[in-house]
Amino acid sequence: MAFATEKIDTVVVKESLERLRDDVAIGLEDLTRELGEKTRVLAREPSLRDDKDLDNMMKRKLHLESEIEATMETDLAFLPDDKKMLIRLAREEAESTALNNKRALNFYQQKKKELQEEKKTYEEMVNKAVKVNEKLDELLKDRSESALIDILKKRYEETGILFRELRTVLHLILTEFYPEEEEGLSMENLLEVLVTKMIEDGNDPYVNIHEGMKDYHIAFLLRANLIMRHKNDVTRIRFVDPN
């Protein structure tokens, strides 16, 4: 007995199961008659072993009857005995399975194609984003360098203006109070050397003190906080940046 794609009439199944139940009942009655007197004796004088065998037979009978009743209530179908029909059913089942497999394969192939296209789209977006990011980095770098140049240029111009104003005022003061001397640097020349060093070499604006510089000029500028000594070398001085 097996399931098939085509179900037979339930009336036929019911009649077949009823005949099967009748055959089982008749077989049990025949078996009881064959046992004859022995069965009746066992019934009057039961032994432990014979009672057990009889009990097992009764349980088997009830089990078969319950299976028959359950089968009659179940909508089952039997495979026909016709081999050609079996082959046709098998072929139809195989064709149906093949068609379902083909549909599933087409679905997954289409899904794979869509995912590949989606992947390609995201890869293009990522590549564009990377290029834009690189371009922005270049622009920011150029802008930062340009901004730094502008800041330095502005600072240089402001320093130059301040230096020129300071030099003009100092020239008037120094020519009156510190006139040029025959030997060594004058106060004005000393300040010019210090300021020029500060502007041209911001990383190392210090100048070494030499014999041409007057001690009293240096002392005056230190008291006026216009210059300062190097913290590790007192023989070097620099002009104090007004910024």
**Residue labelled with tokens 């911001």:** 202
Question: SS3 of 236, please?
Answer: strand
Instruction: Kindly state the percentage of the chain with pLDDT values over 70.
Output: 68
Q: How confident is the model at residue 164 (pLDDT cuts 50, 70, 90)?
A: confident
**d(Cα 60, Cα 66) in Å, to the nearest integer?**
10
Highest-scoring range by mean pLDDT, 23-37, 82-96, 154-168: 82-96
CB 171 within 8 A of CB 188: yes
pLDDT for 48 equals 44
Q: For the segment 91-123, what is each residue's pLDDT rounded down to a tens digit?
A: 888 888 888 888 888 888 898 888 888 888 888
**d(Cα 138, Cα 110) in Å, to the nearest integer?**
42
Q: Is the pLDDT of residue 157 over 70?
A: yes
Name the strand (E) or helix (H) holding 238. strand 236-239
* List of residues 6+ apart from 159 with CB closer than 8 A: 199, 242, 243
Q: For the segment 120-137, what is each residue's pLDDT rounded down to a tens digit?
A: 888 888 888 888 888 877
**d(Cα 75, Cα 77) in Å, to the nearest integer?**
7
Whole-angstrom CA distances from 175 to 94, 214, 219, 238 are 118, 16, 18, 22
Q: What is the DSSP letter of 64?
A: H
**pLDDT, mean of residues 190-196:** 85
Q: Is the pLDDT of residue 179 over 50?
A: yes
5 or 21, which is more confident?
A: 21
Name the strand (E) or helix (H) holding 229. strand 227-229
pLDDT for 94 equals 86
Q: Which residues pair with 237 in a beta bridge?
A: 207, 229
